[in-house]
Amino acid sequence: MLRLMPPEPHRGRTLAACIVASALVFLDGSVVNVALPAIRDDLGGGLAAQQWVVEGFLLALAAFLLLGGSLGDLLGHRRILRIGTLAFGVTSLLCALAPTVELLVAARIVQGLAGAILVPVSLALITDTFAEDERGAAIGTWTAWTSVAMIAGPFVGGLLVDQLDWRLIFGINVPLVAVTMWLARSIAADAERPKARVDVTGAVLVSLGLAGVIFALVEQPAHGWGAGRVALPGAGGLALLAAFLGWEARTAAPMLPLGLFRERNFSVINATTLFLYAPLGASSFLLSVFLQQVAGYEATTAGLALLPTTLVVIALARRFGGLADRIGAHRFVAAGSFIVAIAFALLMRVDERGDYFSQVFPAMLVLGLGLSLAVAPLTAKVLSSAPPERAGTASGINNAASRVAGLLAIAALGGLAATTFADRIDTLRAESPAAAQAEIAASRERPFQVFSDAPTAAERQAVEAAQTSASVRAFHVTMGVGAALALLGSLIAAVGLTDRRHPAHAALAPTGGDGAAA
């Protein structure tokens, strides 16, 4: 089968449009973490409110990525890219202008809906534009630059928070939206597509189901599993997710085609994605909060802490993506996930000092190496394990897996951190001077916050020592769980992945020098 590729200049601009559009989403998924203390100071709220500022965006993003990917396949990739980009710009302004934390969370949810369109359709456009033997390198480039947005986001956000205002972390999206809209003019026009039905029922079921489960995980540390406000949303969410799977199995136009999972590589790579991205999502949130609120970093410094990871990914992601095209992706995915596990184990060495060069820096270098090895081959493997006409849907499913993993991990590991912190506080309270015990007990609901209003220096020292010790213990426990999750992802990839491609790709011949399939 002959597959024609766009001319070289248009391919370059298409790739650039895909990178900037996706970078908008990755930037806003990470930039907010370093602004959480400033948002708390300005708008109020504790750790649960901080979680929802992050989770609201990730929840909407994860819930609608499936729909976003299928919309691109049904209605045209270029059309959906432009609609999603414009919507993301408008919702970013709503976030920047939010007067209360409740309205900020609401605006972040709507922003996540727009973001759910951009990432899967960007990867589908790369599949449309680049032949099979060039796709790994193109995705490597996409990975490198979107990783810059995701991991350098905290640095950019830190500068804006420290020097100007936290609201500008959303305002910077406006020029990026303008650049994406300009670059999108070079993308080839969408082919005519038959009329198709959008799976609205599936979107509603999965969105409400995930919302119930996430709400229960976030609220559980404060109220317990037996509380009605935790048990009812949690059970209802699980029931709706089960109903979603039942609906997808029988509807004529599913947003989650379950038949794709009959392909072994597709199932295995999505399982690997869950266990790799869960600790990545949680660590970005918890590390930013810990470094600022316990180790005393400024927002800019906390953002700079992640810069080595960015530089390593920029340097190596395209190279490893190209190598994976030639010698097989499964080795890279397994090895990269294993190295990510080592990075999280290294983060268990970080204490209340947060010494950068002896504790944080080595972990960030190792994390960058692991991500460089794993992410581009993982993404390419997803696209090669599905038929080309399902590229947007396959990308949406995999991105949904990564976002669901991240938001579940933030909720679950955030809850674990809160529970571990409270248990440690209870132990230390009993060992502390009697005058300090009441304030120590009161701080059990404020994980990763170190401060005291005690009247004497001795009491303040006792309170802050207990808060610090409990925070370090909670951080170490969550990083240990993150290491175990990434290790499990490595084992799944090593045992389950093969380098066999989807049969539909066999008909695509290698690309010749003129950019057309020969």
Is 194 a domain residue? no
Q: Are residues 295 and 228 in the same domain?
A: no
CA distance 170 to 248: 35
Which of 359, 472, 467, 478 lies closest to 411 in space, CA to CA? 478
Specify the higher pLDDT residue, 377 or 108.
Answer: 108
Is 172 a domain residue? yes
CA distance 329 to 132: 13
Is 127 a domain residue? yes
C-alpha dist (Å) from residue 249 to 69, 203, 242, 421: 18, 14, 11, 43
Secondary structure (H, E, C), 287-352: HHHHHHHCCCCCHHHHHHCCHHHHHHHHHHHHHHHHHHHHHCHHHHHHHHHHHHHHHHHHHCCCCC
Per-residue pLDDT at 7: 47
CA distance 355 to 152: 20
Please state, as a whole number, how many other Cβ atoms lie within 10 Å of the Cβ of residue 475: 29
Is 432 a domain residue? no
Q: Are residues 148 and 20 in the same domain?
A: yes
Q: Are residues 240 and 355 in the same domain?
A: no
Please state, as a whole number, how many other Cβ atoms lie within 10 Å of the Cβ of residue 200: 10
Q: Are residues 95 and 226 in the same domain?
A: no
Q: Are residues 329 and 386 in the same domain?
A: yes
- pLDDT category, 507, cuts 50, 70, 90? very low
C-alpha dist (Å) from residue 72 to 191, 349, 402: 12, 44, 19
CB burial class (10 A; 0-12, 13-18, 19+) of residue 127? buried
Q: Are residues 123 and 77 in the same domain?
A: yes
**What are the beta bridge partners of residue 517?**
511
* DSSP count for the chain of H helices, then E strands: 18, 0
- Three-class SS state of 509: coil
Least confident among 141-155, 298-312, 346-360, 412-426: 141-155
Reduced DSSP (H G I as helix, E B as strand, rest coil) percent helix, strand, coil of the chain, to 5: 80, 0, 20
Give the CA count within 13 Å in the CB-facing half-sphere of 5: 28
- Three-class SS state of 402: helix
Of 216, 232, 254, the position where a domain reaches its end is 254
Q: Are residues 56 and 111 in the same domain?
A: yes
For residue 366, pLDDT over 90 is answered with yes
pLDDT digits (tens, 9 = 90+) for 5-56: 444 556 778 788 878 887 777 777 667 777 777 777 777 666 667 777 777 7
Question: What is the domain-level CATH number for residue 360?
Answer: 1.20.1250.20
For residues 70, 76, 81, 82, the Cα torsion angle rounded to the nearest 10 degrees is: -140
Q: Are 370 and 21 in contact (CB under 8 A)?
A: no
Q: Report the pLDDT averaged over residues 65-78.
A: 70
Which domain, by its residues, includes 335? 8-188+255-423+468-503
DSSP state of 188: P
Mean pLDDT of all residues belonging to the chain: 77
C-alpha dist (Å) from residue 120 to 25, 269, 371: 11, 16, 19
Q: Is the dihedral of CA 181, 185, 188, 189 positive or negative?
A: positive
For residue 345, pLDDT over 70 is answered with yes
Is 407 a domain residue? yes
For residue 3, pLDDT over 70 is answered with no
CA distance 61 to 483: 25
DSSP state of 35: G
In sequence order, the 6+-apart residues with CB closer than 8 A to the CB of 197 are 252, 253
How far, rounded to the nearest angstrom, does the alpha carbon of residue 410 sit from its chain's CA centroid?
A: 10
Q: Is the dihedral of CA 272, 19, 299, 36 positive or negative?
A: negative
DSSP per-residue string spanning 196-215: ----HHHHHHHHHHHHHHHH
Is 1 a domain residue? no
For the stretch 262-265, contacts whose Cβ atoms lie closer than 8 Å and that sit 24 or more positions apart, written own/partner, are: 263/385, 263/386, 263/502, 264/496, 264/498, 265/381, 265/384, 265/385, 265/497, 265/498, 265/500, 265/502
Q: Are 388 and 46 in contact (CB under 8 A)?
A: no
Q: Are residues 154 and 284 in the same domain?
A: yes
Q: Are residues 354 and 209 in the same domain?
A: no
Q: Report the pLDDT averaged over residues 165-174.
A: 82
Q: Are residues 106 and 229 in the same domain?
A: no
CA distance 103 to 167: 13
For residue 1, pLDDT over 60 is answered with no
Q: Which two tokens stand for residue 198?
A: 């959008």
Q: Report the pLDDT averaged over residues 330-352.
A: 91
140-158 in b/e form (b: 16+ CB < 10 A) is bbbbbbbbbbbbbbbbbbb
Number of domains comprising the chain: 2
The amino acid at 456: T
Is 3 a domain residue? no
Is 366 a domain residue? yes
**What are the beta bridge partners of residue 511?**
517
DSSP per-residue string spanning 131-161: -HHHHHHHHHHHHHHHHHHHHHHHHHHHHHH
Which of 383, 364, 284, 369 lies closest to 335 in space, CA to CA? 369
CA distance 1 to 517: 9
Place of tokens 């993301």: 88
Least confident among 43-47, 135-139, 501-505: 501-505
Q: Are residues 171 and 270 in the same domain?
A: yes
Q: Are residues 360 and 219 in the same domain?
A: no
Q: Report the pLDDT averaged over residues 409-416.
A: 81
Per-residue pLDDT at 151: 62
Which of 102, 418, 464 lies closest to 282 in space, CA to CA? 418
